[in-house]
Amino acid sequence: MINKVQQNSPYLEFASKLLSKREIHSCTSSLKQVSIAFLNELIDFLFPHFSSHVYYSTEDVISKLQLIERNLISLLKIMNNNSMANINNKANEFMLQIPAVHDMLWDDAQAIYEGDPAAESLDEVILAYPGFIAILIYRLAHELYKLSVPIIPRILTEYAHEITGIDIHPGAEIGSHFFIDHGTGVVIGETTTIGKNVKIYQGVTLGALSVDKSMLKTKRHPTIEDDVILYSQAVILGGSTVIGKNCVIGGNSWITQSVPPNSVVYSKIEVKVRSNENYFDTLEFVI
């Protein structure tokens, strides 16, 4: 019951609005926190690099898989106001994909190790490379996305974005032996398709030519075929844009049309080197 003082409060309208929003959008617990906890549990299980737990037998491993499946079911039940049928079936389908995802992730780690002269071991790649962590989280989120699980896949990939600086939408389709080098500022949009053995450097954007809600169900982002290298700050836009197999896209390239296979694309920038002795031209700096 609202008393007379509360009726005259300048916060009355806001309080009503806030209560309404909290009722419509409430969760039974912190969905983001529980989603990230589930992700970390799964990562710790798949890679001993992140866990002190030791499994002594196949029975131990199978028991842990069953526990993870139960925890996933509990997570999916937290979803409030997001009706999702067959929760148990979805959790089971996700878990059945874990062996294939695990194999693919080791292939990704191998590609990074073989492709970077600075990498001294697979363990270093898994523990220290932000590109691998972003790919790891993306691949797990992608399996949930394919099962039409709402919100949680985006929570996971945005968590990866937060800790690595790499933004991969869980809807993107990415082949095996994927290598993101350095990685800061990489953006890969929802309808992007990437083939096998693709290497991407920092600052690459695989985006849409325009942003319009009516394009929700259309392919808005480019296709990158097998064995392509995209150097830093390359921007490739548009759903009909295809970068053909075995292409090399140079740094700072801006591409909005398809490139045929076996092409090299580069942005030509003139660089002049002069002695600073007897050089009196005004420098175009604004401080």
Q: 77: domain CATH number?
A: 1.10.3130.10
- Whether residue 19 lies inside any domain: the answer is no
User: Considering Cα of 197, then 253, then 216, then 30, what sign does the dihedral take?
Assistant: positive
State the burial class of residue 274 (Cβ atoms within 10 Å of its Cβ: 0-12, 13-18, 19+).
exposed
Given 113, 138, 167, the domain boundary residue is 167
CB 190 within 8 A of CB 172: yes
CATH number (domain holding residue 196): 2.160.10.10
Given 150, 167, 184, the domain boundary residue is 167
pLDDT at 38: 97
Say whether both 162 and 51 belong to one domain. yes
Given 136, 167, 198, the domain boundary residue is 167
CA angle 273, 276, 280 (to 5 degrees): 105
CB 84 within 8 A of CB 149: yes
- Whether residue 262 lies inside any domain: the answer is yes
Question: What residue numbers bound the domain in which 253 lies?
Answer: 172-267
User: Considering Cα of 234, then 185, then 189, then 225, what sign does the dihedral take?
Assistant: positive
- Whether residue 42 lies inside any domain: the answer is yes
Say whether both 211 and 133 belong to one domain. no
Say whether both 127 and 114 belong to one domain. yes
Segment 256-259 long-range contacts (CB within 8 Å, at least 24 positions apart): 256/209
**Number of domains the chain contains:** 2
Say whether both 158 and 206 belong to one domain. no
CA distance 200 to 283: 35
Average pLDDT of adjacent 10-residue blocks, the chain of 287 residues: 64 86 73 95 95 91 95 86 76 96 97 97 97 98 96 97 98 98 97 98 95 80 98 97 98 96 90 72 47
Backbone angles phi, psi at 174, to 5 degrees: -130, 125
- Whether residue 206 lies inside any domain: the answer is yes
Name the 3-class secondary structure at 223: strand
